[in-house]
Amino acid sequence: MSPDTKGEDWMLLKANQLKVFRKDRLLFDIEELAIHQGDRIGLVGTNGSGKTTLLHVLAGQETPDSGTVAATAVCTLLPQLKQGDGRQSGGEMTQTYIERALSRPSALLLADEPTTHLDTEHIEWLEEKLRHYQGALIVVSHDRAFLDAICTEIWELDHGKLHHYKGNYTHFAQQKELAH
């Protein structure tokens, strides 16, 4: 089945007319988005553009100001992690969180900055884990090489709108360059 002819049964999550405000500022206004089985999506945008909030809305952990999110599959949110707790380094904590998230039966993984605190060896370990992950995933990351390694589609949150680009981060950057 080609990606353009995916049936409804392949859809894991669909959202319509999503609007989220922060105080009086519109964070994002997304007409429609859909996540299908096997999707490998990198979510990018400037700091403060709403990437983390969008993941929380899609995971059902935050309610949008308007719009609907309908998930037909179990979704796991891997939140952005802070510094180590003293017993473990930030990298060890991140790795433990990732192991736990990947061990849950889930068809959709939403990962917010999963490479934070990880050294090169552990980033490569994570790339390998995600390459073999059976479900779909959305990853927020500033690590372009990581996005290139695992993503086949990039979603950009820009001025409240969600733009879709086929290909990895490098392809996205080239398409953006051509558009300007």
Which domains are delineated in the chain?
38-63+73-179 (3.40.50.300)
pLDDT digits (tens, 9 = 90+) for 138-179: 999 999 999 999 999 999 999 999 999 999 999 999 998 888
- Secondary structure percentages of the chain, helix, strand, coil, to 5: 30, 35, 35
Cβ atoms 127, 121 nearer than 8 A? no
In one-letter notation, the amino acid at residue 30 is I
pLDDT digits (tens, 9 = 90+) for 6-26: 444 589 999 999 999 999 899
